[in-house]
Amino acid sequence: MKEKNILIIDDSALMRRVLSDIIKSDKRFKVLGAAINGLDGLNMLQENVDKVDAVLLDINMPLMNGIEMLTEMKKQNIETRVIVVSAITTKDAKETILALELGAFDFITKPESLETLKSDEFSMQLLDCLAVATEFMPAQILSQTTSEKEEPPLKHTSKPVTKVGVKKLVTIACSTGGPKALHTILPKIPKQLDAGVLIVQHMPEGFTKSLAERLNSLCQIPVKEAEDNEVIQKGWVYIAKGGRQLRVVKDKEGNHRISLSLEAPRKGLLPCADVMFESLVNTDYDEITCVVLTGMGSDGSDGITTLSNKKRIHVIAQDSKTSVVYGMPKMIKKTGLVNEVVPLQEVSDAIIKNVGVY
């Protein structure tokens, strides 16, 4: 069993020590080196590019910050999986979204207290993220996340003509690699899309707002973080609020509204796509387009299966080749409910063709 080499880049001596201790506690990983800023880190990476399996990168550092380092890595075509270690301030959340857009694999949040920083919970979160990034996982997890031999794209092209006045909704579920995938898909969606769009992206509170704001600045269609009790309108995108479960409910006037609730995570997820899909069973939508993008695990599969028994759905799954982690799309494909398997670059076209514009 070959150890995976991890490079730590953080200007805090305490963080470097804590991260090093966590990595050294797991036989799967070892610390290749530790840098105090992005400039030193970039030099270390350049010198050891064939040896580094993953990088833990801070955002705010002197001389060269994390964003500048990722930008330089992109210019130099250095393709190393980077995990951003981010604080949860509004400024850091916005920069983390930009880091993901620039190619960072994923991020974990820095605990706000020393006690939490040294907790088993933070250690497990870090090690789990490193395991996914380096594809160094137990067989039962690996079977849900790694790419399999690419199959020909699955496309069911025959579809009855949609009647005028039909109530339609687009739903998207994504996790690891999701923010970058959304940056590819949503800018191609026109603001005249004949449906509202609901997105469940696995993210903590605060980061979903920054993600929505960033996407809104890039898209024709308006994008916002979902608010409790607001009416879902066609031509709008609503991103589920981190730290809340999102459901769709129908009010007395027949409007479909968003319901946000603070409750226990389901399967460790808050928000959870299964919860959103299951809530749609009791709505008046005539057609629901379900899109499953890159991400670890199987979130969305149970909910879509339940929904398929009550509603007319059209399921689009991202293919394995373009998925950062081929878990969620693979598991929904296994249900036999998928109508289309397409590369990431074709997902927006598949949505538009299925839903139409007004």
Q: Are 328 and 174 in contact (CB under 8 A)?
A: yes
Is there a catalytic annotation at residue 175? yes
Enclosing H/E stretch for 350: helix 347-355
Q: Are 218 and 186 in contact (CB under 8 A)?
A: yes
| Helix/strand number for the chain, H first, E second | 13, 14
Spatial distance between the Cα atoms of 52 and 7, rounded to a whole number of angstroms: 7
Spatial distance between the Cα atoms of 235 and 109, rounded to a whole number of angstroms: 33
Is there a catalytic annotation at residue 183? no
Catalytic residue among 299, 314, 319, 320: 299
Is there a catalytic annotation at residue 299? yes
Q: What would you report as the CA-atom Rg of the chain, rounded to the nearest whole angstrom?
A: 21
The string over 60-80, giving b where at least 16 C-beta atoms fall within 10 Å of a residue's C-beta and e elsewhere, is bbeebbbbbbbbbbeeeebeb
Catalytic residue among 53, 106, 202, 348: 202
Enclosing H/E stretch for 120: helix 120-133
Side-chain-side CA neighbours of residue 222 (13 Å): 9
Q: Which residues are catalytic?
A: 175, 202, 299
